[in-house]
Structure 1
Amino acid sequence: MQSRREFLQSCLATPLLLNNFRYSDEKIITVLGEVTTSQLGPALIHEHILVDFIGADKISSNRWEHSQVISKVLPYLTEIKNRGIKTLVECTPAYIGRDVLLLEKISKQSGIHIITNTGYYGASDNKYLPPWAFRETPVQLARRWISESVNGIEGSKIRPGFIKIGVNPGPLSPMHQKLVKAAALTHLETGLTICSHTGPAIPAFEQIELLEKEGVHPGAFVWVHANSSDTNNFIKAAKMGAWISLDGISDDSLLKNAEIIHLLKTENLLNKVLISHDAGWYKPGEENGGEFRGFTTISDKLLPLLKTKGFTNADLDQLMLKNPVQMLSVRVRKT
């Protein structure tokens, strides 16, 4: 009989490659340029390198030194690379610490694909929105985001690989409806997937409805922080085609998330599930960037736990490889 340690080691030794998965010809956009879907590899779809919550009116890249951030972060990326992870989706939006030149350096030094975003984050009562977000129309905001997609971010040649917005937990305010409409217009022009910091079900379904009115299929929408709702809502949204992002996975939430993933599998919806930690978080202003949470809980604990629940290697590849590829592939998804 295997010991627990031997069992975990055998699980971790299983390669994250889907034998029968046929890649499409679609592209995925990283901070180092376009890659094919076959190059993406196993991915963590919602993590953070650096986040600065000082506010849109005060934030500046002068608040951190690239060399200090890199020194702190690289060992954590080496950990996941050694576990077979090849891609990290960096979800920090503009005006909360998005620094694409920093991400470019980290990607080159770590050998990990890093994917950044365009869009604006309206959650936390609009504290992280630039002034023009309040006065411009959805079309004008979309033009800004489309320009980043076509021309590069902040004068660089680095392009976003997805759209990141954020809304408050309750019914969508007019401001947040505008962000969703701008995201819809941007998707229809660029094919970038919309990842929305959402949480509860009310704003999730309101966003899906609004996107559909704008001609965008729910398959272009990621319900970020879906852990905040209940499983009946997960199932409903997934059946509509939306992506269910269980992105707060930690040691404390392992069992709960494993149960949710198992339930979605029994509903034949495993192909709509995304998993990640929402970890990292170098924090400017705190000594040495503050406490930084690593990205290994899924590899070391969740995947072995799922195997005890009957998940096959193909199931794990669905979660870690196939679903991220399908979600991040650049293509327009219309109603």
Structure 2
Amino acid sequence: MKLLHTTLGPRRADELGMILPHEHVFVDLRTPDQPGYAEADAADVVRLMVPEIEKIKARGITALVECSTGGVGLRVDLDLAVSLATDFPIVVPTGNYREPWIPDWVRDASVDELEQSFYRDLAEGVGDTGVKAAWIKISAGDDGITPVEEKVLRAAARAAKRTGAVIGSHTIMGRVVMDQLDIIEAEGYRADRFISIHTQAEKDFGLNLAVAERGAWIEYDNIGWVDDEELAPLIVKVLEAGRGDQLLLSHDRGWYDPGKPGGGEPLPYTHLSDVMLPLLRARGVDEAAIRQLTVTNPFEAFAR
């Protein structure tokens, strides 16, 4: 049986509804060598982020995927605190971001050591939180995969192969995504267990479809950041191309930022529900397709 591992334990598909597959509760975009990196009081994070979670609960959203990974402030203990305060499941990753957000221990570790670290997070839990990571979040630069990013990717592919976890990557250029898929397949894992995060940033729509044709998930996750009239036609084009069962939609919003006074001002996770979905319906997208995009696809992508 497929299960989605969350801060509140594993969930079956019939226990969940709409899921937001790319958001942030807590993130620190400073590099890990900066003073105060990823430091915050749990009570402060709870105070700022609970109202944002309550807004989406009121809209029928049943889970959220935290996309802050190693190198950009992964704090599963803080995700858990917000989750417990709201009785709302949050899906957390393991993994690590791209350069220059590579901690020294990741730079120095072997592929085998990284694989074991990722595997422990997936199989046993992240740190002492008791929360199992559901997936592996990585990244690659626009100019191509650096040696250390390739090391992280190979370790991710090996750990994912052992667990069935999906790998998601912040990768802007479609040609670099293709290179990542080559490496994953060379490691004996599958393209259909890969999410091309920020696919909309690759402006060549042909490359968007080419990634999907390899079998991977494509994710349009800047809803609320860009003009709705620019993104809605892209979503419809994916549906018309017959790739609706490989498309994920989200905001890439939030979050508590420890680099800002009081954690900054979070952006709500509500634009998809309040604006984009009505716009898609007005463009003729039926309820079956809406459910596929918002309920079925996120579960199928992140469950294992």
Smaller-chain TM-score bracket: over 0.9
- 1:79 maps to a residue whose letter is K
Preserved CA contact (<8 Å) 2:63 2:89: yes
Q: Please say if residues 52 and 59 of structure 1, whose CA atoms lie closer than 8 Å, have aligned partners that are also in contact.
A: no
**Partner Cα distance (1:260, 1:303) in 2:** 13
1:200 is aligned to 2:176: no
Cα distance in structure 2, aligned partners of 1:59 and 1:32: 32
Moved over 3 A (4+): 58-62
Counterpart CA distance in 2 for 1:112 and 1:118 is: 20
> Judging changes above 3 Å, is the alpha-carbon distance between structure 1 residues 60 and 159 closer, same or farther for their aligned structure 2 residues?
farther
Partner of 1:72: 48
Residue matched to 1:90: 66
| 2:27 aligned partner | 51
1:247 aligns with 2:193: no
Gap change, CA 1:60 and 1:190, over 3 Å in 2 = farther
The answer as to 2:184 corresponding to 1:227 is: no
From 135, 148, 154, the counterpart of 1:181: 154
Q: Is the 8 A contact 1:201 1:233 kept in 2?
A: yes
Which segments of 5 or more consecutive residues in structure 2 lack a partner in the other structure?
none
Match of 1:292 in 2: 266
Report the alpha carbon displacement of residue 223 of structure 1 after superposing the two structures with TM: 0.3
Counterpart mapping for 1:1-335 below 5 A:
25-58=1-34, 63-122=39-98, 126-229=99-202, 230-250=204-224, 252-330=226-304
- Say which one has the larger Rg: 1
Instruction: Specify the SS of the correspondent of 1:206.
Output: helix
Give the length in aligned residue pairs: 303
Of stretches 227-236 and 132-141 in structure 1, the one that deviates more from structure 2 is 132-141
Aligned residue identity for 1:48: H
Gaps in structure 1 of 5+ consecutive residues: 1-24, 331-335
Aligned amino acid, residue 288 of structure 1: G
| Amino acid aligned to 1:272 | Q
Change (3 A) 1:251 1:146: closer
Instruction: Check the 8 A contact 1:169/1:202 in 2, yes or no.
Output: no
**More moved, 77-86 vs 130-139:** 130-139
Secondary structure at 1:189 match in 2: helix
Following the alignment from structure 2 to structure 1, what is the Cα–Cα distance between the partners of residues 222 and 239?
19
1:100 alignment partner AA: V
**RMSD over aligned Cα atoms:** 1.5
Asked whether the equivalents of residues 174 and 211 of structure 2 are also in contact (C-alpha less than 8 Å), the reply is no
Letter in 1 for 2:3: K
Are the equivalent residues in 1 in contact too, given 2:49–2:255 (CA < 8 A)? no
Report the CA distance shift for 1:71/1:201 in structure 2 as closer, same or farther (over 3 A): same
Structure 1 position 113, deviation (Å): 1.3
Distance 1:286 1:184 in 2: 35
- Pair 1:290–1:105, CA change in 2 (3 A): same
How far the C-alpha of 1:119 sits from its partner, in A, is 0.6
**SS at structure 2 position matched to 1:44:** strand
Give how far 1:68 is off.
1.3
Secondary structure of the 2:255 match is strand
